[in-house]
Structure 1
């Protein structure tokens, strides 16, 4: 009887495998038996303008080399939510391009699939910068490839400040803010969006604190986070009382601030108004000599569970992010390539902004891709707004933020 049962089970398993092989499957990775059969890969993205033109040229080149493969680029607003709905209804794209902070959410809901079978961890490490490689890895699985990276760094007006006088430490930056304001009433030594969690991350992580870990542990009341908050609060008397991204950027544009902490997207605006911009790494932290650690946002490509041919998608992604294509793209769009060799290419580093940000990114950490990060943005912003306005002390503000963030994490965990 046991022998008959095992025989029946074996036949059933064999039949099941045959059915699966015949029907295919979104995660099988099996391409068409005919390698020359026409194939269409649909990629959803939110690229625009010169960025889109530079990227489209690479995909067009892939089609030229593989005439049977058509890559259809579809621009989507609210991409993450729309992709989640579409993929679950089995009519979504094969690939999506988006920032790494959405990876955990998409992976947990099985909208995107692991690609370890086609893209190894060793390949990531040898091809892309460390933060970029980490950003496309979630729960020990490789989910895709990084394309470009960005972070904030110090940009200074060379007309107002010499390179040798740019502060190198956190104490030096605070003293510079104090002294510059005293010498130039109505102006500021340094400005940035002090109430935004993204812009404040370099200090939190540099001082040894953190926002949230991959398992959902919140660290806003950790010793390092409290030290960072106290340090940020010390700038209140040397910066505008009503600070925001736009206020900080306007002050730098108008020559009313010698330094701004901002990202690569802002460089062209400052260049247009004639500012001779210099770049410098964020300062090291006090006596520890630990560098400030900005978030490195990583724009990435992932494969969805809807993909008919994951192996082909992997080949396209590797082609798209190889050194030659990333050099071409960077020179056209001025984006910072995640490909390490491309980022160090002489022709790419001729762009002073890219050169400056590449140096900063070496000290950065990946923008957390855990789904729990979504529970941190508002509590940190609320806390820093309360600190900046003087309504709460750093300790009280972080205590309230910790409670709010933990509640948000629990809601995500369900």
Structure 2
């Protein structure tokens, strides 16, 4: 019996060692992306680095899993492909390697400045940016001509007054959502969170932005500002214009909408444009794997290969997102793409989503504040004060 148990244990150990050896040969990259996006990168790397075995693994709850295994050499991936906004959290818990460990930092002189800013936390760059997305002002050309597109907030307000009726809205947006309403706050020179991770909801700029924005909501759906409702109104031609993400574009075109893109209106009170958040998608490296010389050498090859502007072109063509590498815009396929170039122009004023750990708190408290004000008709100052206090308390608990 004892001999049988020993043999069984030896067999399990041998299988485990074989599995570890196999895994150690391949570079593992976790992601949460669509198959079309991953196929572009897989095909490119297979052609560029045929000597390397690279496995992309779709991972549900990617960020939560990384919190648990990011420092574990046997279970952590080598890299992951995700948005930039968790960089601060993962840098603080010590699982990320600086991207400068693998590539000359001067390479990023050729990148869209906003993407480099997004990838940087406490003066250290932790992401290789591949592409970015931001909200856009879109309109139905059958309902709104290019000459009629509002260029200022007051022009937009007048257009809404004159063109909203029981059949159709002139303009819609997700006004009670922090991600969507942040553009108005930035247009007043405000911010939700400062660079040190302190909530700033009770600043005069935020108060002014929320107060000013309220009058526009009178001419939008009352009590219904969620994603599905707002987008459906535009897709069903019951709204002439919308602030939305590029992910709405394929559906709009499938529905036969003659889609136009315009720059964000300028706020008359500040002479600043509505400036939405931008999300930058890219490659991050796990320190625990990069500390192994053989793996670091392979990771370095992959990182450098993915700086080729060609990958940005190919990703833009399948996703509609805008390349992070400025050199990609020299390609005529990109420079002639109306959607991609609209995002390129929007990147001039777009604000990278804060990559500070404290932002996890602010998404919840800010959206709750906006819901109270815009959907429940709560007092603006009282709601802002409560949200500021809640944010401070929750961030204190984090610390």
Q: Show CA shifts across 1:62-88 (max 9, x none).
A: 332xx1x21111110111121222222
Q: Show CA shifts across 1:381-405 (max 9, x none).
A: 1111111124312222211111111
- Say yes or no: does 1:129 pair with 2:112: yes
Shift of 1:369: 0.5
CA contact (8 A) 2:72 2:288 kept: no
1:100 equivalent in structure 2: 84
Shift of 1:103: 0.5
Which of 189-198 and 403-412 deviates more?
Answer: 403-412
RMSD (Å), alpha carbons: 1.7
- Say yes or no: does 1:334 pair with 2:320: yes
Instruction: Provide the secondary structure at the position in 1 that maps to 2:369.
Output: helix
2:30 equivalent in structure 1: 44
- Equivalence map 1:343-362=2 (5 Å): 343-362=329-348
1:17 equivalent in structure 2: none
Instruction: Provide the secondary structure at the position in 2 that maps to 1:203.
Output: helix
2:211 equivalent in structure 1: 230
TM-score, scaled to structure 2: 0.89
CA contact (8 A) 1:233 1:394 kept: no
Which of 92-101 and 210-219 deviates more?
Answer: 210-219
- Say yes or no: does 1:205 pair with 2:191: no
Number of residue pairs the alignment of both structures matches: 370
1:190 equivalent in structure 2: 171
In the alignment, the residues of structure 2 paired with residue 214 and residue 78 of structure 1 have an alpha-carbon distance, to the nearest angstrom, of 27
In the alignment, the residues of structure 1 paired with residue 33 and residue 119 of structure 2 have an alpha-carbon distance, to the nearest angstrom, of 19
CA contact (8 A) 1:44 1:79 kept: yes
- Equivalence map 1:65-144=2 (5 Å): 67=51, 69-91=52-74, 92-124=76-108, 126-144=109-127
Which of 46-55 and 134-143 deviates more?
Answer: 46-55
CA contact (8 A) 2:315 2:321 kept: yes
Structure 1 residues 310 and 205: CA distance shift in structure 2, 3 A: farther
Unaligned runs of 5+ in 1: 1-37
Structure 1 runs of 4+ with >6 Å offset: none
CA contact (8 A) 2:133 2:322 kept: yes
Q: Show CA shifts across 1:239-260 (max 9, x none).
A: 1112211111111011111101
1:5 equivalent in structure 2: none
In the alignment, the residues of structure 1 paired with residue 129 and residue 255 of structure 2 have an alpha-carbon distance, to the nearest angstrom, of 32
- Say yes or no: does 1:264 pair with 2:246: yes
Instruction: Provide the secondary structure at the position in 2 that maps to 1:380.
Output: helix
TM-score, scaled to structure 1: 0.86
